[in-house]
Amino acid sequence: MKNKNVSLLLVMTIVLSVVLSGCGKKEEIKPQEKQIAVEVQTVSKRNIEVKTVLSGKILPAEEASVSPKVSGQIENIYVEIGDYVKKGDVLFAIDSQNYQALFNQAQASYFSAESSYLAASARMENAKLNLDRNRELYEAGAISKQQYENMQLQALDSELESAGYSVESARASMENAKIALANAVVRAPISGKVAMVNVQTGDMASPGINAVTITDASRVEIETSVSENLINKISTGESVEIRIESASTKPIKGKISALAQSTTSETMTYPIKIEIDNKDGIIKPGMFAEVDVVTESQKGVTAVPSEALVVKDGMAKVFVVEDGVAISKEVETGMDDGQYVKVEKGISQGEQVVVKGQNYIDENSKVTINGQEAK
């Protein structure tokens, strides 16, 4: 029994020695260093523009509110809302009987005044001839001085001059009556579409009452304003991009057509006008618009996405990737248009700057670029 116990102890000793020997030879397993996934963009040169967004409503470039120049009952209306009219087309007519009668009367007065003038002219010519014939008789004493002076009075131009004034007055009255008669037919002052008809046949029309509204929307405009720090950064004729969601999903081109030289007393801003070509008619007056006005721009500058910037310890930095490692670089920045920022110093073209994941890495962090194998 004693020999069996010794043998068992010997076997257990040998087995334990083998196990301990095997553990001593096994290599130590090191944990793999974590790699952070990032996205990068290659630094390049680009154009940067700082834009200011202005807003306003669309207005027709030309609009006319048509009211009659004479009073009277509307006899006929020749247009409806939506009709296109040319300048000079008849819109409506007012009963012209009274104006025709007034013209006829004024014309008759003119003809009478003209006839009186011709008669006075003939009398004056005869008086002058008579005066010439009797001058020798007066000098010879054949007629008295009083008779000769009466002849001189008859030969004066005063009667003819008075008759001339009467003719001019009558002519003016006739012309006014003619204009009033013509104004009984109301015509379009501009070409465009009829936007409003505010009268009906039989209504009494009078000056100052808007009867028909015509708009020319082949060109439209936006009236808005800018502050004093922007007025000298824009100029007449400058192109702008306009967003009108109710008319187009794409930006529409326009241009600055007018700049005020002084501020308004109400807002203390400078009014400006922006003109848009609207020949296809998709833009309607009253629509809301937003305008992107370029107030500052630089071309061909080294720039990175604005989101790539990280501020640490009061310093602007970006992370670039070199051989799978994130390296932070301090940068001096310039113009920022909201999407890209100009880099004055700190990085060069061709470097890969981290644009996503930069807030989760530190100096010398191991990184893997999305879409690429880790180095």
pLDDT tens digits for 359-372? Answer: 888 888 898 888 65
Distance of CA 60 to the CA centre of its chain: 10
Instruction: Identify which has the larger pLDDT, 344 or 14.
Output: 344
Joined together, the tokens standing for residue 95 give 């009963």
Q: How far apart are CA 128 and CA 152, in angstroms?
A: 8
Instruction: Identify which has the larger pLDDT, 279 or 122.
Output: 279
Orientation angle between helical segments 97-140 and 158-183, nearest 10 degrees:
170
* Of 293, 284, 195, residue with least CA distance to 245: 284
225 neighbors 269 (Cβ within 8 angstroms): yes
pLDDT value of residue 205: 92
Asked whether the predicted pLDDT for residue 21 surpasses 80, the reply is no
Least confident residue range of 175-179, 288-292, 307-311 = 307-311
Mind listing the pLDDT tens digit for each residue in 306-325? 999 898 878 889 999 998 89
- The strand ranges marked E within 101-169 are none
pLDDT value of residue 6: 46
Mind listing the pLDDT tens digit for each residue in 63-99? 999 999 999 999 999 999 999 999 999 999 999 999 9
pLDDT value of residue 250: 92
Q: How far apart are CA 355 and CA 358, in angstroms?
A: 7
Domains of the chain as residue ranges with CATH:
38-48+299-369 (2.40.420.20), 68-94+184-210 (2.40.50.100), 96-183 (1.10.287.470), 217-296 (2.40.30.170)
Which backbone phi and psi does 88 adopt, to 5 degrees? 100, -15
Mind listing the pLDDT tens digit for each residue in 205-227? 999 899 999 999 999 999 999 99
* Of 77, 79, 57, residue with least CA distance to 193: 79
pLDDT value of residue 130: 64
pLDDT interval class at 160 (50, 70, 90): low
184 neighbors 99 (Cβ within 8 angstroms): yes
pLDDT interval class at 277 (50, 70, 90): very high
